[in-house]
Structure 1
C-alpha cells in the first residue's frame, strides 16, 4: 500500500511541482508584495497598508471599479438571457439544426485578440460594417469606440459574440429535462410560456446559478478586449483607458500598474481586493440561491 502511494506521488509530482511553483508561490508572493513598495528592479520594501490606503485615494482606481461594476451588471444578465434563449431555440426540432449549433459555437474557438480586432473593424465609425448598415437604413452612425457613452455598451455587444460555451451548457441542460413533464403539463392545458417558467427554469436553475457565478467572475476580470481596443488605436489620447478612461476596467488598471508603471505592490494589493470582492459576491449568490435554485429536478 505504501509503495503504491509513493508511486502515485511520483507520477503526480510534475503537477505538484508545477502547482507549488506557478500557483501557490505566486499567490503567497502577491500577498506579501501587497504590503511592500516593489518595482521589480529593487528589493521589496515593507510599507504596511500604504498600498491599500493609496488605492482608496486613487481616482483612477475608483473609475476602474465603477467601469467594471457597470460592465458586470449589464453584461452578465444579457449574456445569460441571450444564451438561454438561443439554447432554447437550438433545442427545437428543425432541419439543419447541427449547422446552426456549429455556427453559434465557432466564435468561441477564435482567439480573443482576433475577435477584438474583428469587432474594432465592425464598429469603426468611418468604414465599419455596423455603421454601413445604419447608413443604408438612414439611421445615425455613432462613434462606437470613441464616444465615452458608448464604449462600454460596445464591449457588451462584443461579448455576445463569444457566448457559445454558455449556449452549449444550457443546451445540454435543456435536453436533460424529462419530456414526460412537458407531456403532463400539456394534458393539463399549460402553454409554452407556462411550461418554460414552471418546468424548464426550475429544472435548469443549478446551471443558471453556475453560469451566473462564472459570468460575474469573468466580467470582474474583463481585460483582453478593452486592452486591444485601447492599445491598437489612438483612443487612449494620453490616458490608459480609452476616451475619458471609459474603458479603464479593473484588470486593465491592475495590468498598467504592474507592467507599465512597475508598481508591483500596488498591483498586488489590487489583485487581493478583487479576490475579496469576487469571494463576497460569490458567497452572497450562494447564500441567496436557496430561494430560487431547485436541485434534484424539483424533488
Structure 2
C-alpha cells in the first residue's frame, strides 16, 4: 500500500490587503536639511546683522589703514604699512600707551575689587537692601556724558563739593583740570563710580549661587568667616571672575564718553587713551587712514588679550 509523501508547504503569498506594513527609515539628509533650515531661520538674522554692522566695518577699517586718506576727501592713495610705521615712530605713542595701560589696569583691577566688596556687603541681610542694590547699580545705566558733566562740578577746585570737603579738614584741592596725573586720577574715579555697580551685580549673582552647605561644613570644621571666604567662596567665584575679567577689560580699553565729556584727552594729552586717539586723529584731525591704523592695532590688542585669557587663564577656573 503506497504511502503519500508529504510535500513542504509552499509559502503563502500575501495579498495587498493582508501584507504587513513596512516602515521605511527617513533619509538622514532630510533631518539634516530640516536642522539647517531651523538654524538659518533662527540664527540667520543675527548672523546677517553681525556681518553688516561688525565684520564688514572691521574689514573696511583694515583696508582704510593702508590708505592715505583725509576724511571727506574724494581721493585716497595706497601707502601699505606706512600708517603703522608712523604710529610706532610718533614720539607721543609711548605716553599714549602708558596712559591706556594705567587707565585700564586701574579701572579693571579697582572695579573688580570694589565690586566684590560691594557684592559681599549687599549679600548680607540689611535693612533696605533692595534700595541699596538699586542705588549701587543705577550709575551704570546712566549716560557717560551726563555722568562726566555732573562730576566736573564735584571736582571743581574752587566751587566743587570735593574741594569744600577737603578744606574742612585743612587739605587743599588738587588741580584736577591742569595737572595731567591728577586729571587721569579724576577720570579713573568717575569711571569706577559709574561701572562698579555692574561688577557688583554680577558678583552678587555668583555669591547667591554658592551652596550654603559648603559654608556650614567649613564653619563646623572651625574655619573663620574670612577663611571660608578665601578657601570656599573665591574658588567658586572663579567663572564669574573670569567672565568679568574679559568684559571689563574690553569695556575699559574702549572707554570714550567720560574722557570726552571731562577732559577732551588733556591736559597735555594726560588722559588720551588709544580709543580717544582714534577719535582725535579721525574726526578732529581728519586723518582717517592713520586713525584706522590705530583702530586696527587696538583690535589686535583686544584680540590677543582675549585669546590669552581664554587659553591660559580659563585653565585655572574651576566650574562646579
- TM-score with structure 1 length normalisation? 0.89
- 1:61/1:250 contact within 8 Å kept: no
Cα deviation, residue 165, structure 1:
1.4
Deviations 1:171-220 (CA, angstroms, capped at 9, x unpaired): 00000000000100010010011011001100011111111122222221
- 2:66/2:83 contact within 8 Å kept: yes
- 1:121/1:128 contact within 8 Å kept: yes
CA distance in structure 2 between the aligned counterparts of 1:280 and 1:170, rounded to whole angstroms:
26
1:24–1:284: structure 2 CA closer, same or farther, 3 Å change rule?
closer
Q: Where do 4+ consecutive residues of structure 1 move more than 4 Å?
A: 1-17
CA distance in structure 2 between the aligned counterparts of 1:8 and 1:34, rounded to whole angstroms:
36
CA distance in structure 1 between the aligned counterparts of 2:149 and 2:291, rounded to whole angstroms:
27
CA distance in structure 1 between the aligned counterparts of 2:37 and 2:210, rounded to whole angstroms:
44
CA distance in structure 2 between the aligned counterparts of 1:229 and 1:181, rounded to whole angstroms:
47
| Structure 2 residue aligned with 1:216 | 249
Aligned length: 287
After the TM superposition, which residues 140-155 of structure 1 pair with which residues of structure 2 at under 5 Å, given as runs?
A: 140-155=172-187
| Structure 2 residue aligned with 1:237 | none
CA distance in structure 1 between the aligned counterparts of 2:176 and 2:260, rounded to whole angstroms:
16
Comparing 166-175 and 13-22, the one that deviates more: 13-22
1:272 paired residue among 267, 277, 296: 296
- 1:76/1:219 contact within 8 Å kept: yes
- 2:183/2:263 contact within 8 Å kept: no
Unpaired runs of 5+ residues, structure 2, are: 1-29
Deviations 1:220-242 (CA, angstroms, capped at 9, x unpaired): 122111111134xxxxxxxxx31
- Establish whether residue 38 from structure 1 lines up as the match of residue 69 from structure 2: yes
- 1:116/1:228 contact within 8 Å kept: yes
CA distance in structure 2 between the aligned counterparts of 1:107 and 1:288, rounded to whole angstroms:
33
- 1:121/1:129 contact within 8 Å kept: yes
Cα deviation, residue 24, structure 1:
2.3
- 2:97/2:273 contact within 8 Å kept: yes
| Structure 2 residue aligned with 1:86 | 118
- Establish whether residue 245 from structure 1 lines up as the match of residue 269 from structure 2: yes
Deviations 1:257-298 (CA, angstroms, capped at 9, x unpaired): 1111121111111111111111222222333325642112xx
CA distance in structure 2 between the aligned counterparts of 1:13 and 1:176, rounded to whole angstroms:
34
- TM-score with structure 2 length normalisation? 0.84
- 1:222/1:250 contact within 8 Å kept: no
| Structure 1 residue aligned with 2:53 | 22
1:207 paired residue among 234, 240, 250: 240
CA distance in structure 1 between the aligned counterparts of 2:35 and 2:310, rounded to whole angstroms:
39
- 2:69/2:289 contact within 8 Å kept: yes
Q: Quick check: which has more Rg, 1 or 2?
A: 2
| Structure 2 residue aligned with 1:133 | 165
- 1:213/1:282 contact within 8 Å kept: yes
Unpaired runs of 5+ residues, structure 1, are: 232-240
| Structure 2 residue aligned with 1:196 | 229
Deviations 1:40-65 (CA, angstroms, capped at 9, x unpaired): 31233111110010101112333221
CA distance in structure 2 between the aligned counterparts of 1:92 and 1:230, rounded to whole angstroms:
38
